[in-house]
Structure 1
Amino acid sequence: MAYSGDVTTGGAPDVRDLAALTITKVSVGPMDNNAYLLRCRATGEQLLIDAANEAPRLLELVGDAGLTAVVSTHQHMDHWVALEEVVAATGARSLVHAADAEGLPIPSETLTEGDTVTVGDCPLEVIHIAGHTPGSVALLYRDPDGIPHLFTGDSLFPGGVGNTDRDPQRFASLIDDVEQKLFGRLPDETWFYPGHGKDSTIGAQRPHLAEWRARGW
């Protein structure tokens, strides 16, 4: 079956096979968090985006191939409940933006805008999107044989940007970064994978940017 990105807590993962990278999406409870396991098809190296919860389930997904790194998209607890256990079991590096590092339960290597995180032969560009938290990041994989793939954490969803608790300054920062760094740089066919719920494309959401800015959330 073709990849849809529609997963449910406790349900089966959905797998997308690209030419060089395999993306496995799974939802973990209790808050329907998405976790993404990326595997380089050439080297077998694996990276996890958001060790959100259900460590045994995530470790089963990782399997015997091991894990080189876990990237936390931001410091909110529902995205790292399983981080300590996953890192202890696999020896993976823990990576997070410097501005969110103090919010994590274990010491972590820090990321900044423009850094590259590699999964085997596949590079992921770090894009800093401030607003949902000070150090939220998106990760961009530019597939040389296809469309770009963007992992947005809680900064961008189908239907709007992430929660900023109605804080005007935080919202302005988030919507500006999303508009300039994501919609301003990436083509419509870019597929994005959020921290909760269904996936979408930049093109499907682009017509609604002005609406989001006007409503203020």
Structure 2
Amino acid sequence: MSARIDHTTTSGTFSLDGQTFEVDNNVWVVGDDHECVVVDAPHDVSAILELVGNRDVLAIVATHGHDDHVRFAPELAAAVGAPILLHPEDLVLWRMTHPEREPDRMLADQEVIGVAGTGLRVLHTPGHAPGAVSLYSVDLNTVFTGDTLFAGGPGATGRSYSDFGVIIDSIENRLFTLPDETTVRPGHGPSTTIATERPHLGEWRDRGY
């Protein structure tokens, strides 16, 4: 199995509910020397193209529809000739950024996206956004969690289309059922592991974070 994970960080803004914030986003690329899948397309197409190199991009997968994760997805898709994949429940967020252009295909819970001899299993993990997904690779011992789970806690749920109880349920019943040693690679900030985060679930639930 020759698949690997490449990574870069881009900087830009996140806007929702009339407010705008400066953010740094992780971009993850899963593949080998010949083909890959891009996880999220935030602020800088050139940085993603540099990470991809001359590989065939099979898909651009959006972990959710917030603008800091999909802003440059159409431009990247045009540059590499790849389809954009999004969960249908996040179309409402996608259309705030791209009213003129729909994603190419809708993601389904438990489907497997094949790349470089491995598979990324789609886990619907709503809460931060209604159509948020995580991508789990048993071969790579990794789950890409978007903004559902970070090092130190769940994603934010204080804005439109988010729900704290739902994100806690997603973390407990979808992510914390993964093996302890699974590396969590989020949409922002450092990576962590399932074992590191699982003991804190009760604390997050009790304080509403």
Same fold (TM over 0.5): yes
Matched position secondary structure for 2:127: coil
Distance (Å, rounded) in 2 between the aligned partners of 1:102 and 1:207: 34
Deviations 1:103-122 (A, max 9, x none): 33232210121111111321
Match of 2:102 in 1: 107
Aligned to 1:45: 35
Q: CA deviation at 1:152?
A: 0.1
Give the aligned residue type for 1:91.
Answer: G
Q: Does 1:116 align with 2:116?
A: no
CA contact (8 A) 1:46 1:68 kept: yes
State the shift of 1:166 in Å.
Answer: 7.5
Q: Return 5+ residue gaps in structure 2 as ranges.
A: 13-22
Q: Which residue of 1 aligns with 2:46?
A: 56
Report SS of the residue matched to 2:54. helix
Q: Which residue of 2 aligns with 1:207?
A: 199
Q: 1:62-82: per-residue Cα shift (whole Å, max 9, x none)?
A: 111131110000010001122
Q: Does residue 20 in structure 1 map to residue 2 in structure 2?
A: yes
- Mapped pair 1:174 → 2:167: yes
| 1:158 maps to 2:158 | no
8 Å CA contact 2:8–2:47 kept in 1: the answer is no
Residues 4-24 of structure 1 deviation map (CA, whole Å, 9 limit, x = unaligned): xxxxxxxxxxxxxxx431101
Query: Any conservation in 1 of the 2:74–2:84 contact (CA below 8 Å)?
Result: no
Q: Which amino acid aligns with 1:23?
A: I
Please give the residue correspondences for 1:77-116 in structure 2 after superposition, counting only pairs within 5 Å: 77-104=67-94, 105=98, 106-108=101-103, 109-116=105-112
Which of 71, 82, 85 is the aligned partner of 2:61?
71
CA apart distance, 1:177: 1.3
Deviation at residue 60 of structure 1 after TM alignment: 1.7
SS of the aligned residue for 2:42 comes to coil
Task: Kindly report the root-mean-square deviation, in angstroms, between the aligned alpha carbons of the 2 structures.
Answer: 1.6
**Same amino acid, percent of matched pairs:** 40
Structure 1 residue 102, shift from structure 2 partner: 4.0
Select between 134-143 and 29-38 the one with higher mean Cα deviation. Answer: 29-38
The one-letter code of the counterpart of 1:29 is: S
Deviations 1:97-144 (A, max 9, x none): 11113433232210121111111321110000111010000000001x
Quote the Cα distance in structure 2 between the aligned partners of 1:154 and 1:54.
Answer: 19
State whether residues 3 and 116 of structure 2, in contact with CA within 8 Å, keep that contact through their aligned partners in structure 1. Answer: no
Can you give the 5+ residue segments of structure 1 that lack an aligned partner in the other structure? 1-18
1:187, distance to aligned residue in structure 2 (A): 1.4
**After the TM superposition, which segments of 4 or more aligned residues of structure 1 sit over 2 Å from their partners?**
101-106
What is the TM-score when the length of structure 2 is the normalising length? Answer: 0.87
Q: 1:134 aligns with which of 130, 146, 167?
A: 130
Whether the 8 Å contact between 1:40 and 1:122 is mirrored in structure 2 is no
Q: TM-score, normalised by structure 1?
A: 0.84
Q: Rate the CA distance shift 1:164–1:215 in 2: closer, same or farther, 3 A.
A: same
Among 34, 37, 42, which residue is 2:26 paired with?
Answer: 34
- Over 3 Å counting, the alpha-carbon distance change for 1:198 and 1:85 in structure 2 is same
Q: 2:179, 2:194 within 8 Å by CA — same for their partners in 1?
A: yes
